[in-house]
Amino acid sequence: MTTLETAADLLKLLHDTETEPRADVQLEALTLAVAADLPVLLWGEPGIGKTAALNQLAENLELPLTTVIASVHEPSDFAGLPVLGDDPAVQGVPMAPPDWAVRLVRAGRGLLFLDELSTAPPAVQAALLRVVLERRIGALRLPAGVRIVAAANPRSSAADGWELSAPLANRFVHLQWGFDHDVVVRGLGGVWPRAQLPGLDASGLAEAVAYARRAVCGLLAARPKLVHQLPANEVRRGGAWPSPRSWEMALRLVAFATAAGTSREVLSMLVRGAVGDGPGLELLASLDRMDLPDPEAILREPLRIGLPERGDLRQAVLDGVVEAVRRDTTRPRWDAAWTVLARAVETGPPDLVVVPATGLAALRRDDWEVPAAIERLAGVVSLSRRTDLAGAR
């Protein structure tokens, strides 16, 4: 056996690794987005394992992996090269796709990995728009079995890096990719976490879709300014930001996460990666409030319907009750709201009642008598204000 053959045996032993089921939030978020057939963009510093994660993902999902380094290609490699036929005036000029696209179409399935996206010049980024959104490369359309994942380094650590254009950035779910010390140590020891598609509850698909639509539509109905917010800063435009397109992605992710029963941490990564941190956190908060009692139902039966124990949810319910009275201010509704606030003082932290009580008091008409419930709240509100003033001093 020659030295090179012995070296090959040693390399084979080094490359032989195993996988194991292991809780990994990053990997779970990535596989759920892949299952939802959404383009994913992994952001992270060089050398932390983004490419290795994609290789392992493709292997575990038994998908052929096609890696394309975006920065070393011309725009025509994605838009297609014009090829003259016998009679261009009659048949037109078809756009011939590259060989890797042809192989993906023939296979009918696969994982297209667009690496080094942040080093691709603007002209190449423009050519990638149709690839990422319409899945078209030249005259070919990628089949439904092909998933698209990209990777990029922050501009500060990318070789001759560019900021991502806003149209291209808005087509991706952005995931911040880091490394876990324990995962790296165990992986170097020969055992890496296993990537697997999430299990979906087939009996609850319709409910998951209805839940996701109710969550997203409810938030946007209450916060119309969140529908579209193009960041003014060029750097932020290259990340996740809200638009009708990215809200549709967030809706799909909520539906898949609900059907899969994923953790709140995974869902947080995904929705913030679709619409940005601020809107994503608002969506998560609205999910918490979806199961809260209806303010109108509480006003109809102020002594029967219970209030949430958790402080932020209780605050949301009390604010909702006051807002409902503000929209339709009548004496019986106003009195019922005071009854609700009095119950809140008796069963929870009194400081949560200060702001709703102040807002409700401002709705009083001149000819309305002060209800008895206000007397139980007056001391609490006064004490809270004195505490705030003392803290300020």
Q: Which among 226, 228, 287, 291 has a CA at the least distance from the CA of 255?
A: 287
Percent of the chain whose pLDDT exceeds 90: 39
Pair 36, 182 in one domain = yes
Pair 149, 170 in one domain = yes
CATH number at residue 139: 3.40.50.300
Pair 166, 108 in one domain = yes
Strand 145-152 vs strand 140-141: parallel, antiparallel, or unpaired? unpaired
- Is residue 12 one of the residues assigned to a domain? no
User: Which domain range does residue 285 map to?
Assistant: 204-289
What tens digit of pLDDT does each residue of 56-107 get?
888 888 899 999 998 888 888 888 777 766 666 666 667 788 888 999 999 9
Pair 63, 141 in one domain = yes
**Of 289, 321, 336, the domain-final residue:** 289
Pair 54, 158 in one domain = yes
Which residues lie closer than 8 Å to 236 by C-beta, 6 or more apart?
none
- Is residue 2 one of the residues assigned to a domain? no
Q: Are 140 and 106 in contact (CB under 8 A)?
A: no
Pair 132, 162 in one domain = yes
pLDDT at 153 over 90: no
| Structural domains in the chain (count) | 3
Q: What is the DSSP letter of 309?
A: S
Pair 261, 365 in one domain = no
- Is residue 198 one of the residues assigned to a domain? no
What tens digit of pLDDT does each residue of 207-238 get?
999 999 999 988 887 788 899 999 988 888 99
Strand 18-20 vs strand 145-152: parallel, antiparallel, or unpaired? unpaired
- Is residue 4 one of the residues assigned to a domain? no
Q: Which pLDDT band holds residue 160 (cuts at 50, 70, 90)?
A: low
Pair 301, 284 in one domain = no
Q: Across the chain, where does the E strand assignment appear? A: 18-20, 40-43, 65-69, 81-82, 95-96, 109-115, 136-137, 140-141, 145-152, 173-176, 191-193
Pair 284, 323 in one domain = no
Pair 284, 300 in one domain = no
Q: 71-102: b or e for each residue (b if 16 or more CB lie within 10 Å)?
A: bebebbbbbbeeeeeeeeeeeeeebbbbeebe
- This prediction's pTM: 0.75
The alpha carbon torsion through 293, 297, 301, 304 (nearest 10 deg) reads -20
**Of 255, 289, 323, the domain-final residue:** 289
End-to-end CA distance of the chain: 84
* Mean confidence (pLDDT) of the chain: 86
